[in-house]
Amino acid sequence: MTSVGSRSVTVFVEGKGVLRCTLRGNLWAAERGETRPVAVGDRVQVKLESGTEGVVESVDERANRLARHQPAGRFSGQGRTHTSARSGKDPPVQVIAANLDRIVIVAALLDPPFRAGLVDRLVVAAHMQGIEPVLVLNKVDLEGTEARPGDRGGTVTRDVARPWIEDDMHVIATSTVTGEGTDALRELLAQGVNLLVGHSGVGKTSLLNVIAPQALRATGSVTSYHGRGRHTTTQVRLVPLDSGGWMVDSPGMREFGLEDVRPADLARLFTGFGELPDACKFNDCLHRTEPGCAVRTAVDAGEIAEERYDVYRRILDGVEGEAV
């Protein structure tokens, strides 16, 4: 499955290229708490109707998926299968892509400003699904540039990636302007299916254009107002690489709601606490104010940075909010 539109989808068939397909009606009825019956990256069975068209008959079981939880009241109108039949149940999740080998989390050093929260949520989601997370710190050509007023001040450097580097995650600093890091990224992503995700305007599509220039896609300038991207990419799309691998470009996201994380599991999936959660007095410690908490003790001793702990607490609040 290479793209999913509101009426039809495109499917890559070995030896035939890309076919435009409709979905067998019962696929819509069989939706599994998801906004759409299929996602980019799904492997499907297709009945050919002509040289360029077909019907998707069924969707194979997935190895994994990256899905975002849609906060209640925020999902109406984004799909078409979750109306009356699901009322009163959990809102459907939005599956961004399926059957992934890597989730390539792209963040910019500046413009838009680096925000750890989204990176951390995506890393937790990747760990839960057993998918390798990769962090790409893009726009490093802007390193040392004074942050603009309103961007919380201060100068941002590539040091922001230290928690993930210390956790042995692949972290690559890149610039599509100077070319720094792009060869290393191309090499890392040569095989398998790689999903590009991150805030709008961080340079996901620009990186894709460097790695797969034959599939040149539109990029947009970051609006100066708020430094927020304009959401140039509007559809999730699978692009083949000459190396045999695949890239999936996705529209920028403002936030990412984690699905189905048990609050007591979060600290073990979060980057930066190491084995400490296992040393707490209570097995289901949430590392807030519980007695005998090894995480809090390490924060108070300055062994864990307050900022890291604050990000954890924000994500925990969100996870607990969704759980009720």
Taking the complex as a whole, the smallest distance from the CB of residue 309 to ligand GTP amounts, in Å, to 29
**229 is a contact residue toward ligand GTP (CB under 6 A):** yes
Contacts of residue 20, Cβ cutoff 8 Å, sequence gap at least 6: 8, 9, 10, 52, 53, 54
Which position has the token pair 């999740």?
Answer: 93
240, two tokens? 């083949």
- Where does residue 159 rank: exposed (0-12), middle (13-18), buried (19+ CB within 10 A)? exposed
Q: CA-CA distance, 116 to 130, in Å (whole number)?
A: 21
CA distances (Å), origin 84, targets 23, 46, 75, 92? 21, 29, 14, 12
Q: Which range in 4-12, 42-50, 184-192, 233-241 contacts Mg ion by CB under 5 A?
A: 233-241
Q: Which is nearer to Zn ion, 66 or 269 (CB)?
A: 269
187, two tokens? 């090499």
**Contact letters (x/-) for Zn ion, 25-64, by CB under 5 A?**
----------------------------------------
The H-assigned helical ranges of the chain are: 25-29, 116-129, 162-166, 182-188, 204-211, 263-269, 294-300, 306-323
Task: Using CB positions, name the residue nearest to ligand GTP.
Answer: 252
Exactly one of 135, 206, 247, 248 binds ligand GTP (CB under 6 A); that residue is: 206
Window 186-205: residues binding ligand GTP (CB under 6 A): 200-205
Taking the complex as a whole, the smallest distance from the CB of residue 198 to ligand GTP amounts, in Å, to 6
For the beta carbon of residue 274, count every other beta carbon within 10 angstroms: 16
**194 is a contact residue toward Mg ion (CB under 5 A):** no
38, two tokens? 């299929």
Exactly one of 134, 233, 280, 299 binds Mg ion (CB under 5 A); that residue is: 233
Exactly one of 222, 238, 248, 298 binds ligand GTP (CB under 6 A); that residue is: 222
Do 100 and 41 form a contact (C-beta atoms < 8 A)? yes
Please compute, for residue 66, the number of CA atoms within 13 A of its CA located in the half-sphere on the CB side: 30
Window 62-101: residues binding ligand GTP (CB under 6 A): none
Window 101-130: residues binding ligand GTP (CB under 6 A): none
Exactly one of 35, 182, 205, 209 binds Mg ion (CB under 5 A); that residue is: 205
**184 is a contact residue toward ligand GTP (CB under 6 A):** no
Window 245-264: residues binding ligand GTP (CB under 6 A): 251-252
Please report the DSSP string for 230-260 in residue order: -----S-EEEE-TTS-EEEE----S--B--S
Q: Which range in 80-88, 97-105, 143-151, 217-225 contacts ligand GTP by CB under 6 A?
A: 217-225
**285 is a contact residue toward Zn ion (CB under 5 A):** yes
- Amino acid identity of residue 4, one-letter, is V
Phi, psi for 219 (deg, rounded to 5): -120, 165
Window 288-307: residues binding Zn ion (CB under 5 A): 293, 295
Q: Which range in 17-25, 82-90, 162-170, 196-204 contacts Mg ion by CB under 5 A?
A: 196-204
**175 is a contact residue toward Mg ion (CB under 5 A):** no
Under the rule (CB under 6 A), what is the footprint of ligand GTP?
Answer: 138-139, 141-142, 175-177, 200-206, 219-222, 229, 231-233, 251-252
Under the rule (CB under 5 A), what is the footprint of Zn ion?
Answer: 280, 285, 287, 293, 295
